[in-house]
Amino acid sequence: MTERRILAVASGGGHWQQLMLLRPAFEGGSVFYVTTLRGLAESHGAAPAGFAPDCNRNEPVAVLRTVAALLWRVLRFRPHVVISTGALPGVIALACGRLVGARTIWVDSVANAEEMSMSGRLARRFAHLWLSQWEHVAKAEGADYAGSVL
């Protein structure tokens, strides 16, 4: 059996911190990390790693650059699984992963204690497993709940 290829994607800040807390779940796989801040992955010992430009819904040109960067990464790495803790670049990674038949996982940020984030709601379309870190949010939104990473 070939080693599972996992693409783990998160924007900087809290999204990245939560992704780093999930690293034990990736053991036994070949993981490639992608973040939106150059040097962030290396500072956490997350290697191999790459960069994708950050974007948000108000910057359509930046979104296109992020799509191009993540699509290229997905086509080169051919992940079996794509996982993200947010934000919009993570949603884009999930969508790209679906194009190559990858299983996709969205873990909404623990900071979203009242409702799913906007990116999380968008990720629902692309995630095979759609998780909230708050049980009451998961129940209200129809997401799955498996605990929190903090």
Would you list the DSSP string of 7-52? Answer: EEEE-TTHHHHHHHHTGGGGTTSEEEEEESSTTHHHHTT--SEEE-
Residue 131, token pair as written in the block: 């998780």
pTM of the model: 0.97
Give the sheet arrangement for strand 81-86, strand by strand.
49-51, 30-35, 5-10, 81-86, 103-107, 129-132, 144-145
pLDDT tens track for 7-23: 999 999 999 999 999 99
The answer, yes or no, to whether residue 1 has pLDDT greater than 90, is no
Domains and CATH numbers, the chain: 5-145 (3.40.50.2000)
**Res 148: pLDDT:** 94
Mean pLDDT of 21-48: 97
